[in-house]
Structure 1
Amino acid sequence: MLLGMEVDMTINIEDLNNLHIDVLREIGNIGAGSAATALAKMLNKKVNMDVPKVKVMEFKEVSETLGGAEILVIGILLGVNGELNGNIMFILEYNAAQVLVNMLLGKPLDELNDFNELELSALKEIGNILAGSYLSAMSSLTNLNIMPSVPDIAIDMAGAILSVPAIEFGKIGDTVLYIETEFLDGNTRVVGDFFLIPDVESYEILLKALGVIS
């Protein structure tokens, strides 16, 4: 999850101290636990998700984190509605998405074929569950009413996938908060990148709710 912050004298990501980072990490922990439970019920099998990693980075570093602008990825995009508005995107490297689908559907992990309609639908549902779980956790900790929309999915190079949020980030700043989502199955691990892009008006609402500004 990447959480953009407006860079000005009132709302600045540098105002995020260790306590605020801990609050956002806790949102990740609660969301990951809730998502693992929901996925386990949907798939009728245990789903393990590791403790999320949280760090601050510049938006221009994001494609490098994903493996470069030319790497093929799956992007799942959802709108955010309610007291916060904006977009959420969950990004998986293409082969990692194939492994994740195999992991969750009980197929051999090394079976790497093109996605069929059922598998793409499963990926959209995974993104939907993750988004719902993280937003529910954020809602619980901020008392804000936040809901995801129906997800869309795209397969493209990371640079192209990121061009949509890049346009949004360009309006408000270039620094983001990154929260990594990691799925585990035995010795196999799949890392996904999950980020939230609130619209300009939502920044102050979110930071006030988190206690970053008064």
Structure 2
Amino acid sequence: MGTREVELDILKEVGTIGGGNAATALSSLLKTPVQISVPLVQMVPFPELLEAAGGEEKVAAVTFLRIAGHISGSIFFVLEPEEMQTVGRALVESWNISRTPENEQDLFASALCELTNILAGSYLSALSDFTGLYMMPTVPSSAVDMIGALLSEGLIEAGLEGDEAIMIDTNMTKGEHQSQMAGRFFMLPDAHSLPKIFASLGVQESGA
């Protein structure tokens, strides 16, 4: 098995464990069974990031946050706008807050930030357990716009110098009626961070 295959196997396990932890947290929050599966984990070169996220002109709900600790980098979570509303309704109902046409979009944005914070915290916690490196998410922000505009702005804000992103497909199934949501979670480690992650996992990258 080559180095890249070993890396992806480890990251798939991290994603599966992190998804399980996030599902437990969301089940408690929503008071209904939630399952999260990770059907695909892959490394995406930065130049291919916009296409992997759905295309530069595609409108999506995107949440952005930074990673703090021994590892630095950025995280984007990309959802269809319709799925943002589905998640938003479920989370807002759990908050016992009155939803009106005037406050609905702000509440949905807050709900998406909370979902992303739970997912990011769970994935980073699992990765931290595997590597022994401390890492945590910062406060997220979200918006609905074309993917090209949102991701490019986030990349500029982050001042990233890395080469590849870790892409984790994240599928969530909720409740007795099995309502589903599918999103893409991108972790973009800064240049020094990705080799540190794999070295801590016991994987020596080729050329390193």
Greater shift, 141-150 or 59-68, is seen at 59-68
Q: Does 1:191 find its partner at 2:182?
A: yes
The letter for the 2-side match of 1:118 is L
- The equivalent of 2:39 in structure 1 is 52
Counterparts of 1:48-87 in structure 2 under 5 Å?
48-87=35-74
Are the equivalent residues in 1 in contact too, given 2:109–2:143 (CA < 8 A)?
A: no
* 1:201–1:57 CA distance, 2 compared to 1 (3 A): closer
1:116 corresponds in structure 2 to: 105
Partner SS for 1:211 = coil
Aligned to 1:9: none
Distance verdict in 2 for CA 1:41–1:19, change over 3 Å: same
Indicate if the aligned counterparts of 2:63 and 2:141 stay in contact, CA closer than 8 A: yes
The number of aligned residues is: 194
* Cα contact 1:43–1:105 (8 A) shared by 2: no
1:33 maps to what in 2? Answer: 20
- Structure 2, unmatched stretches of 5+, are 95-100
**Other-structure match for 2:127:** 138
d(CA) in 2 for partners of 1:188, 1:198: 32
1:73 offset after TM fit, Å?
Answer: 1.0
- SS across alignment from 2:203: coil
Does structure 1 conserve the Cα–Cα contact (< 8 Å) formed by 2:162 and 2:189? no
Structure 1 residues 161-204: Cα deviation after superposition (integer angstroms, max 9, x where no partner): 2214555697443x443210011244543211111111122122
String of CA shifts for 1:71-95, please: whole Å, max 9, x gaps.
2111111111111011111111212
Q: What TM-score do you get using the length of structure 2 for normalisation?
A: 0.81
**Structure 1 residues 180 and 50, CA, compared in 2 at 3 Å: closer, same or farther?**
same
2:53, 2:4 → 1: CA distance? 26
Structure 1 gaps, min length 5: 1-14, 108-112
Are the equivalent residues in 2 in contact too, given 1:28–1:52 (CA < 8 A)? Answer: no
Match of 1:19 in 2: 6
The structure, 1 or 2, with the larger RCO (C-alpha pairs under 8 Å, 6+ apart) is 1
Bigger drift between 98-107 and 85-94 goes to 98-107
Q: Quote the RMSD (CA, aligned, Å).
A: 2.6
Q: Secondary structure of the equivalent of 1:45?
A: coil
Q: So what's the TM-score if we normalise by structure 1?
A: 0.79
Does the 8 Å contact 1:136/1:146 carry over to 2?
yes
Q: Please point out which of 135, 148, 151 is paired with 2:140.
A: 151
Q: Which residue of 2 aligns with 1:213?
A: 204
Q: What are the within-5 Å matches in structure 2 for residues 141-180 of structure 1? A: 141-164=130-153, 166-167=155-156, 171-173=161-163, 175-180=164-169
Percent identity, please: 38
